[in-house]
Amino acid sequence: MIDAISFNEGTLRYLDQRYLPLREEHISTKDHREAIEAIKTLAVRGAPLIGVAAAYTVILGINSYRGDKEGFPCFFGNLIADVEASRPTAVNLFFATKKLKAVYDRNFNSDSLEVLFAKMLFEARQIHDDEIANCDAMAQHGVRQIREDLAEILKTRKLNVLTHCNTGTLATGGSGTALGVIKLAWQEGLIEKVITAESRPLLQGLRLTAWELEQEKIPFFSISDSSSAFLMQRGMIDFGIVGADRIAANGDTANKIGTCAHALSAWHHNIPFYIAAPVSTIDITLSDGTQIPIEERSADELRTIFGTQVATSTTPVINYAFDVTPGKFLRGIITDKKAVVGDYLNGLGQLFAE
C-alpha cells in the first residue's frame, strides 16, 4: 500500500507527489510552515488528504508553541488562519480546522495546554482514520450503483471507465474516492479498462493515477484531456467517475479543471457520470456552485512543463485549478453514507439531517 501520509512522534511524513512517478521521495518535518508549503505546492494534494495534512499541520504548529496559556489563543488563531490560507477550494481543509477549533473551544478553559494538545492530536488522528474508512464505504455504495445503472451492458461485457485527476490513495490515504470505487469494481470483475485523462497542467491523471493503477495491476490507458468526447463518440467509455473538492447543497461540484467538459460530453452521449466524495467534501452552507471559491494558480504552471518553458514568459494566462460541474449533468453523487441520485438538494440535505 502506498504510504501517502503518516504522523508519528511529533513528525509529519508525506510522499512528495510533485515528482511522482519518476522520483519517489518521502519528506519528514516537524515544522508547520514546511507542511503549509507542502499543501500549497501540491506535494500533498487531493481534497481528503489536504484535510488530513491540514489537521496534522495544526498539531505541528501547536507543538512548536513555547509560550504560556494566556498567549495561546492569539497564537492558535494565527496558526489556523495560516493553515486555512494554504488552498481555498477543497472544503476538507476547513472541515479539519473547524474540528480542531471545536476541540479548542470545548476544552481551553478547563484543560492545561498539555491535555488540550493531546485531545487535538486525538482529533487529528480521528480525521485521518475517518477518511480511510470513508473510502471503503464509498467503494461499496459506488459499485452497487454502477451494477444497477449499467446492468444491461454488464450482461454481455465488462465496462470501460473514464476518470480525471487523481482520487486514489495519494489523494485520500485510503483506497480512494472515485479510484476507490474503480478499484473495488475491478476486483469484482466489472472493469475492462480504466481511462485516465492526463489532467493538465500538473498531470495528476497521467502521473499519479496511472502510477497507482500500475501498482494495483489494473489495466488502463491514458488520454489527453481533450480526447474524452471523441472516445465517447466511438463507444469507448461506458461511464465516468471523478472525485470532488467541494460540493454545493444543490449538487454542483468543484473538481479538477477539465471535469466539467468530460461531464458535458458524457451527458450528450447519455453516459452516466458520477462524483465520489465523502460527506466532508459537501459544503451544505453553499446553495450552488457559483459560491464555491475557485483557486487560481500561477501562470508559470501553464507556461512551463516540468521546468521546461514552453511559452514566452509574457504570455497572458488564466489558470483556474478547478471547474464546477452543474449537478444536473451528474448521474449520482456517491458518498460514504449512501449514493445520492436525482434530487441533490433533498438527498444531500438529508445526509446532514441524519
Annotated binding site for substrate: 45-47, 87, 204, 255-256
CB of 3 to ligand MRU, least distance (A): 17
Residues 190-229 that bind ligand MRU (CB under 6 A): 204
- The piece of 8-16, 41-49, 99-107, 332-340 that touches ligand MRU (CB under 6 A) is 41-49
Binding-residue total with ligand MRU (CB under 6 A): 19
Contact 277, 325 (CB under 8 A): no
250 binds ligand MRU per the rule CB under 6 A = no
Minimum separation from the CB atom of position 152 to ligand MRU (A): 29
Burial of 48 (C-beta count, 10 Å sphere; 0-12/13-18/19+): buried
* Footprint (CB under 6 A) of ligand MRU, residues 121-160: none
Q: Which stretch binds ligand MRU (CB under 6 A): 96-104, 119-127, 148-156, 164-172?
A: 164-172
d(CA 199, CA 4): 20
Determine contact, residues 252/292, Cβ cutoff 8 Å.
yes
Q: CA 317 to CA 303: how far, in whole Å?
A: 8
Position among 160, 175, 177, 196 found at the interface with ligand MRU (CB under 6 A) = 177
Rounded distance, CA 250 to CA 248, Å?
A: 5
Q: For residue 48, state whether it binds ligand MRU (rule: CB under 6 A).
A: yes
- Site membership for ligand MRU, residue 246 (CB under 6 A): no
Which of 52, 127, 150, 244 binds ligand MRU (CB under 6 A)? It is 244
Choice among 245, 252, 283, 323 that is catalytic: 245
> Does 45 help bind ligand MRU (rule: CB under 6 A)?
yes
Bridge partners of 195, per DSSP, are 162, 221
> Of 198, 238, 245, 252, which lies in the binding site for ligand MRU, with binding defined by CB under 6 A?
245
Q: Would you call 13 exposed, middle or buried from its count of C-beta atoms within 10 A (0-12, 13-18, 19+)? A: middle
Q: Does 171 bind ligand MRU (CB under 6 A)?
A: yes
Burial (CB count <10 Å: 0-12, 13-18, 19+), residue 105: exposed
331 near ligand MRU (CB under 6 A): no
Nearer to ligand MRU, 52 or 244 (CB): 244
- Output the smallest distance, CB 242 to ligand MRU, in A: 6
Binding of residue 335 to ligand MRU (CB under 6 A): no
Instruction: Decide: 266 and 302 in contact? Cβ < 8 Å.
Output: no
Is 42 an interacting residue with respect to ligand MRU (CB under 6 A)? yes
Would you tell me how many other CB atoms lie within 10 Å of the CB of residue 226? 12
Out of 138, 165, 197, 206, name the contact with ligand MRU by CB under 6 A. Answer: 165
How many residues are there in the chain? 354
Among 4, 20, 36, 46, binds ligand MRU (CB under 6 A): 46
| Alpha-carbon span 354 to 337, nearest angstrom | 10
| String of DSSP letters for 129-159 | HHHHHHHHHHHHHHHHHHHHHTHHHHTT--E
Q: Of 39, 28, 22, give the one whose Cα is nearest residue 208.
A: 22
Q: Which is nearer to ligand MRU, 121 or 252 (CB)?
A: 252
CB 111 to ligand MRU: min, Å:
34
CA distance 235 to 240: 13
Q: Judge whether 68 counts as a catalytic residue.
A: no
**How many other C-beta atoms can be found within 10 angstroms of the C-beta atom of residue 217?**
7
Q: Where along the sequence are the contacts to ligand MRU (CB under 6 A)?
A: 42, 45-48, 90, 165, 167, 171-172, 177, 204, 242-245, 255-256, 321
Residues classed as catalytic: 245
